Amino acid sequence: MILVTGATGRHGGTGAHVVRRLREEGHDVRVLARTRGERTEALEALGAEVVLGDLRDRRGIVPALAGVGQVYLTYPIDAGVVPAAANYAAAVREAEVSPRTVVMSMGPAQPHHPSARGRDQWLAEEVLRWAGLDLLVLRVAAAFHENVPALHGRSVEEEGVIRNCFGDGPVAWINGRDAGELAVAALLDPGRFDGPICSPPGVEELTHHDIAAILTEELGRPVEFTPVSEEEWRRELVGLSDVVDVVNPEMAAHITAVAAVVARNGPARGADPVALRRLIGREPTTFREFVRASR
Ligand SMILES: NC(=O)c1ccc[n+]([C@@H]2O[C@H](COP(=O)([O-])OP(=O)(O)OC[C@H]3O[C@@H](n4cnc5c(N)ncnc54)[C@H](OP(=O)(O)O)[C@@H]3O)[C@@H](O)[C@H]2O)c1
């Protein structure tokens, strides 16, 4: 039995992809979800068992772990990842299981990163390590394509503008489904990965001028990129968090801090489509393909 967390996600949506692919491969899947609704019904329709629980409350995680041999652990870019990791580790001990745990992580999971969410993600992984869990941590070294509609969809729609503080330099990108596919590979074929903590690369490097140009071509109307300061973009995203449910003030602080680092230093790891293709065992999706498919 494989336990999947975060399968009701609406941002990268990696968990739902993991469930779909594991079911296609014939595995028994249990989903830990906070509430029931259309998303859990869709997962049940795929043949997954749904149990209710919250990663910040150990008591619901313990029964979800019964008979589980592997876990996909993901948490949104939001506050609470350290208690979530601590509760998960304590639940594994209490349930007397020893599942191999694949953790969805990100490049900024570093002890001295300017983003507090990046430092917290690193600390959460330290907690899991101290607990002696069998881990494979995927510090995906690329931004999800899905960030573009989440963070810029409204301004593109209303003003034909992308505003952020990534500057003029390149950013490494990956599709959320390909990040999910990395997790599937890590669960089913961990030998493809080079260690308990690894940094899978993105498929391509694109500046936000490139992103705007692709949107212009694919949407058939002009989209421009306007660089703004870190504080200006953070304020815009905090405002957006009232209307776009996948955006929250913690994410606003995180992504603006990450963007400021990328603007100064470039991407921590360049894109490597060949390495990504090898890891996921298929052709990765480009940003242009993502836009076409989303339309
Ligand atoms: N965005 C990027 O550019 C990027 C790049 C690289 C790596 N990553 C990594 O990707 C991860 C996020 O993955 P994602 O985009 O697939 O997530 P997502 O779509 O935002 O989904 C988050 C999921 O976590 C669930 N969740 C939230 N709080 C929970 C709790 N307390 N207990 C149990 N479940 C909870 C949500 O459930 P509800 O439906 O109940 O809210 C949802 O199913 C992050 O760790 C980030 O580091 C992101």
CB environment 211-244: b (16+ within 10 A), e (fewer): bbbbbeebeeeebbbebeebeebbebbbebeeeb
Contact 141, 268 (CB under 8 A): yes
Per-residue model confidence (pLDDT) at position 266: 83
Closest-CA residue, ligand 1 atom 15, reads: 12
Distance CA 231, CA 164 (A): 10
Contact 37, 58 (CB under 8 A): no
Give the distance (Å) from ligand 1 centre to CA of residue 75. Answer: 4
Per-residue pLDDT reduced to its tens digit, 67-105: 999 999 999 999 999 999 999 999 999 999 999 999 999
Distance of CA 154 to the CA centre of its chain: 21
Give the distance (Å) from ligand 1 centre to CA of residue 20. Answer: 17
Give the distance (Å) from ligand 1 centre to CA of residue 251. Answer: 11
Q: How many CB atoms lie within 10 A of CB 282?
A: 11
Give the distance (Å) from ligand 1 centre to CA of residue 217. Answer: 31
Per-residue model confidence (pLDDT) at position 269: 83
Per-residue model confidence (pLDDT) at position 268: 79
Q: What are phi and psi of 68, to 5 degrees?
A: -90, 135
Helix axes 230-240, 249-265, angle to 10 degrees: 150
Ligand 1 contact, 100 CB (< 6 A): no
What is 187-236 written as a DSSP string?
HH-GGGSSSSEE--B-SEEE-HHHHHHHHHHHHTS--EEEE--HHHHHHH
Give the distance (Å) from ligand 1 centre to CA of residue 138. Answer: 14
Ligand 1 contact, 143 CB (< 6 A): yes
Q: Are strands 134-140 and 197-198 parallel, antiparallel or unpaired?
A: parallel
Per-residue pLDDT of the chain (295 residues; tens, 9 = 90+): 999 999 999 999 999 999 999 999 999 999 999 999 999 999 999 999 999 999 999 999 999 999 999 999 999 999 999 999 999 999 999 999 999 999 999 999 999 999 999 999 999 999 999 999 999 999 999 999 999 999 999 999 999 999 999 999 899 999 999 999 999 999 999 999 998 999 999 999 999 999 999 999 999 999 999 999 999 999 999 999 988 888 999 999 999 999 999 999 987 788 999 999 999 999 999 999 999 999 7
Contacts of 125 (CB under 8 A, 6+ apart): 85, 103, 105, 109, 135, 137, 197
Q: How many CB atoms lie within 10 A of CB 173?
A: 26
Pocket mutation for ligand 1, best pick of 5, 21, 32, 34 (most atoms within 8 Å of C-beta): 34
Domains annotated on the chain, with CATH: 2-140+176-198 (3.40.50.720), 147-172+203-271+281-294 (3.90.25.10)
Stated pTM of the model: 0.96
Closest-CA residue, ligand 1 atom 6, reads: 106
Give the distance (Å) from ligand 1 centre to CA of residue 7. Answer: 8
> Mean pLDDT over all residues of the chain?
96
Ligand 1 contact, 115 CB (< 6 A): no
Gyration radius of the chain over CA positions: 19
